[in-house]
Structure 1
Amino acid sequence: MSDPRHLPSEEELKKAGDCNVLDSQGNEVQFSSIYSANKTIIVFIRHFFCGEYVAALANIPKDKLDSSNVKVVVVGCGDWQAIKGSGYAALTNLQGDIFTDPTRNLYRALGMNIENLETTPSGEKKRSYIKKSTVSGILSSVWNGPLKNPNLLGKQGNISQLGGEFVFGPGNVCSFASRMQHTEDHVEVDDLLKAAGVSGS
């Protein structure tokens, strides 16, 4: 198994940078343009009904990011219609940009090839963003997802697709990478901010 934290090669960076994602209006955006001018934390999520981690990102003080000239961007793999309105942006309160890669070509280009529904393995410490009660976390995901937004059913993306966290830019460089190995394997928010050089982290 390759190291889930290996940095993309120059060839992988170019391939990923040339991929297109969709914005909240369905417009194509070249991936590399997202981080061309700023250091950017880019979080790839599993699907648009999974919001605990992004809700934690939404709690990062804006002035903390601004003072370090760092922005936060989220990429999903569902339909672009699931982002705005009563969709994912409202569910998570994230103020940053949200894009989607329904083809999952970008996920593949950056080595996010794992699909599973496994939770934190026995003996491994759960991440702090995970709700203490797995049952309450599941119920919350169900309520805030398909029950609260039934019109988004089928638009959330592949629920078994695992994501990851990266720090890109400015320019076509990547200074941090972490690819999920199970469904609760996002990097701790404080560690991600440190990796991006956010002051005070």
Structure 2
Amino acid sequence: MASLPSPAVLADAANLHIFDLNGQKVRFGSLFESKKAVFVFIRHFFCGNCQQYVMELSSIPTEALEQAGTEIVVIGCGEWEPIRHVLENTNFHGPIYADPTRELYRTLGMTIETLQVTPSDTKKKSYLRTGRFSNAMQSIWNTLKNPALVGKQGNLKQLGGEFIFGPGNQCSYASRMQHTEDHVEVAELMKMAGVAYP
């Protein structure tokens, strides 16, 4: 587990604004004021690896999340317009938000920008079910079939991470990606959140 954000950082992050799928501003802290939430910060909205990860998150039963009193929230670094595209491609039923300025990313310590993949001496994560070539082709196809969204997907080198916040300004888990295939295993994340999985 990575270092947790300090209380001061948490307070700063809570006051930042992100955008929902309709382009409406939402104060980040309002998403975990009265409940626990698992926040998954993906890379850009067209990232094939991240879409595989979100697809795995979509397989978590709603009942399991309700029993744990938590929800899963996805945040991307692009504009808000591609959000519906991600929802359609992943069957994810939770909320997705956009942080186009990446101020929230930086505040929470997700400052690495790279296109590096899994190091050769490290086992690839289980959510990566298709090869890199297929992922690259999928990303290109997503771009071609959504020309109006080109340039709105976010920084291609931005890395994300996973956090568990709430209720209130507290953080119980943090993991920041070190390369483009480094989302924490879903089973581990759900265990830390107290959610029964699989």
TM-score clears 0.5: yes
TM-score by length of 1: 0.93
Q: CA deviation at 1:187?
A: 0.2
TM-score by length of 2: 0.94
Query: In the aligned structure 2, how far is the partner of 1:132 from the partner of 1:27?
Result: 34
**Preserved CA contact (<8 Å) 1:120 1:185:** yes
- Name the SS of the counterpart of 1:71 in structure 2: strand
Query: In the aligned structure 2, how far is the partner of 1:120 from the partner of 1:96?
Result: 28
Verify: 1:35 aligned to 2:50, yes or no.
no
- Name the SS of the counterpart of 2:187 in structure 1: helix
Q: Which residue of 2 aligns with 1:110?
A: 108
Question: 1:70-81 to 2 correspondence within 5 Å?
Answer: 70-81=70-81
Q: CA deviation at 1:19?
A: 0.6
Query: In the aligned structure 2, how far is the partner of 1:147 from the partner of 1:60?
Result: 30
**Which amino acid in the other structure matches residue 167 of structure 2?**
P
Verify: 1:7 aligned to 2:15, yes or no.
no
Moved more, 57-66 or 188-197: 57-66
Q: Which residue of 2 aligns with 1:83?
A: 83
**Preserved CA contact (<8 Å) 1:49 1:156:** yes
Where in structure 1 are there 5+ consecutive unaligned residues?
none
Where in structure 2 are there 5+ consecutive unaligned residues?
none
Q: CA deviation at 1:134?
A: 2.2
Q: How many equivalent pairs are there?
A: 195
- Name the SS of the counterpart of 2:183 in structure 1: coil
**Preserved CA contact (<8 Å) 2:60 2:197:** no
Query: In the aligned structure 1, how far is the partner of 2:140 from the partner of 2:190?
Result: 29
**Which amino acid in the other structure matches residue 72 of structure 1?**
I
Deviation by residue 1:146-194 (Cα, 9 ceiling, x = unmatched): 0232221111001101000000011111000000000000000000000
Verify: 1:92 aligned to 2:82, yes or no.
no
Q: Which residue of 2 aligns with 1:59?
A: 59
State the identity %: 51
Q: Which residue of 2 aligns with 1:156?
A: 153
**Preserved CA contact (<8 Å) 2:21 2:96:** yes
**Preserved CA contact (<8 Å) 1:130 1:137:** no
